[in-house]
Amino acid sequence: MITIWPDLVRELRLDLLWSLVMAMVLGAAIGLERELHGKAAGLRTNILICVGATLYTQLSIYLAGPEGDPGRIAAQIVTGVGFIGAGTILHARGNVSGLTSAATIWFVAAIGIAVGAGATLEATGATLLVLLVLGLLRPLEKYVNRYGGVTRVTLDVEPRPEAVSEIERIVVQAGLEVQEIRSEQRGDRMTVHISMRGPARLHDKVRLELMRASGAYTVSVEE
């Protein structure tokens, strides 16, 4: 039985099957975290990307043979997964979302390549690091955003030369940093767009102060 086992593994390609199962487990671990937080690229997506990258890498090694370049097919995984990642990034009203999901997809493909190349231990360690970043660092990210959030405000004011500098002065005196401020003429009114960064507790105060002190007709806010 002992002498038959190596032949059985070789004929049935049990080593490939083991790699695919391992890729499925690692992809599922990351995909489950994404699924629990309601992300577009969830459980099944990450499993398929990880298993697919593993299979492509194995095929690349097999087709290259002893004299070829085993990285030619596997290298195209990086390009191909970029299209999937780009599909998860959304841009609307000046906000960009989905960057973390896109980066996760890119990293899951790298884990699949590592499994396909036989670096199972390294792939497992990388998976644990990704889960650490996605899970344990989430409260830290919320804390940072709470004390360093960005708010974009649009105001319609009278077209006065000093209106822009007056709005900027109100924001700075309240303790927030002005990241960007620009204005444009719209008929008999001037529209001022301002992005401000600072503690979240000050943003509401500044918005009320802008409505009161700037003489704005309308004020719209985009968090």
Quickly name the fold that domain 147-222 has: Alpha-Beta Plaits (3.30.70)
How far is residue 26's CA from residue 128's CA, in Å, rounded to a whole number?
9
The pLDDT of residue 97 is 66
The pLDDT of residue 6 is 59
Strands in 136-175 per DSSP E: 149-157
Residues 9, 15 contacting (CB under 8 angstroms): yes
The pLDDT of residue 92 is 46
The continuous run of DSSP H or E covering 218 comes out as: strand 218-222
Residues 198, 177 contacting (CB under 8 angstroms): yes
The stretches in the chain having pLDDT less than 70 are 1-14, 90-97, 142-148, 200, 213-215, 217-219, 222-223
- The DSSP-derived string for 45-112 is HHHHHHHHHHHHHHHHHHHHTTTS-THHHHHHHHHHHHHHHHHT-EEETTEEE-HHHHHHHHHHHHHH
The pLDDT of residue 94 is 45
The pLDDT of residue 1 is 47
Question: What are the C-alpha distances in Å from 115 to residues 15, 39, 182, 192?
Answer: 11, 25, 51, 53
Amino acid at 58: Q
- The predicted model scores a pTM of 0.63
What are the structural domain ranges in the chain?
A: 4-136, 147-222
Q: What is the CA radius of gyration of the chain?
A: 26
